[in-house]
A and B are shown apart, each in its own frame.
Chain A
Amino acid sequence: MTPSLLTKERKLGIYRKMLLCRMFEDRVNSLFLQGRMPGTIHQAQGQEACAVGVCEALRDGDMLTSTHRPHEHAVARGIPVRFLMAELFAKITGCCHGKGGSMHMGDADFGMLPAIAIVGGGIPLAAGYALSFKYLKKPNIAVCFFGDGAVNEGIFHETVNMAAIWDLPVLFICENNKYGASTLIDSVMKVKTVSARASAYGIPGSTIDGNDVVSVYEATLEAGERARSGQGPTLLELETYRFAGHSRSDPGHYRPKEEVAEWKAKDPITRFETRYLSDGLLTNEIIESYRASVEQELNDAVEFAEASPSPLPEECLADVYVE
Chain B
Amino acid sequence: MSTLSNVVTKPEVEGRKLSIVEALREALQEEMRRDERVILIGEDIGIKGGFGGAFTVTLGLSDEFGSERVIDTPISEAGFTGIAVGAALGGLRPVADVQYADFLFLAMDQLANHAAKLRYMSGGKLKVPMVMRAPVGATTRGSQHAQSLESYFMHVPGLKIACPSNPYDAKGLLKTAIRMDDPVLFFEHKLLYGSKGSRKESGGLEVFGSVPEGEYLLPFGEAKVVRPGRDITIVANLLMVHKSMLAARTLSEQGIEAEIVDVRTLAPFDWQTVFESVGRTGRLVIVHEDTLTGGWGAEVAARVADSCIGYLQGPIRRVTAPDTPVPFAPVMENFYVPSVERIVATAKEVCR
User: Chain B contacts of A158 at CB under 8 A?
Assistant: 74, 76, 78-80
Of A124, A132, A161, A321, the contact of B110 (CB 8 Å cutoff): A124
Question: Complex: how many Å from CA A94 to CA B81?
Answer: 29
| Contact A108:B126 (CB < 8 A) given known A320-B157, A320-B158 | yes
Of A96, A133, A321, the contact of B122 (CB 8 Å cutoff): A96
Question: Complex: how many Å from CA A155 to CA B82?
Answer: 9
B118 interface contact, C-beta 8 A: yes
Size category, B interface: 35 or more
Of A95, A125, A320, the contact of B85 (CB 8 Å cutoff): A125
Q: Which of B88-96, B315-323, B329-337 contacts A (4 or more CB under 8 A)?
A: B88-96
Q: Is the beta-carbon distance between B87 and A321 smaller than 8 angstroms? A: no
Q: Is the beta-carbon distance between B76 and A125 smaller than 8 angstroms? A: no
Question: Complex: how many Å from CA A129 to CA B86?
Answer: 5
Question: Complex: how many Å from CA A213 to CA B76?
Answer: 35
User: Chain A contacts of B89 at CB under 8 A?
Assistant: 108, 113, 125, 128-129, 132
User: Chain B contacts of A82 at CB under 8 A?
Assistant: none
Q: Which of A32-40, A115-123, A182-190, A238-246 contacts B (4 or more CB under 8 A)?
A: A115-123
Question: Complex: how many Å from CA A162 to CA B89?
Answer: 18
A171 interface contact, C-beta 8 A: no
Question: Complex: how many Å from CA A124 to CA B160?
Answer: 22
B201 interface contact, C-beta 8 A: no
Q: Is the beta-carbon distance between A125 and B182 smaller than 8 angstroms? A: no
A310 interface contact, C-beta 8 A: no
B342 interface contact, C-beta 8 A: no
Q: Which of B78, B82, B124, B127 has the most CB of A within 10 A?
A: B82
Q: Is the beta-carbon distance between B86 and A142 smaller than 8 angstroms? A: yes
The 7 listed contacts between A and B (C-beta, < 8 Å) are A63-B90, A107-B125, A113-B126, A123-B82, A129-B89, A132-B86, A135-B39
19 further A-B pairs in the complex, CB-CB below 8 A; given A96-B121, A132-B89, A135-B39: A96-B122, A96-B123, A97-B124, A99-B120, A99-B121, A107-B125, A108-B125, A124-B86, A124-B110, A125-B114, A128-B83, A128-B90, A131-B86, A131-B92, A132-B91, A136-B91, A136-B92, A154-B78, A321-B158
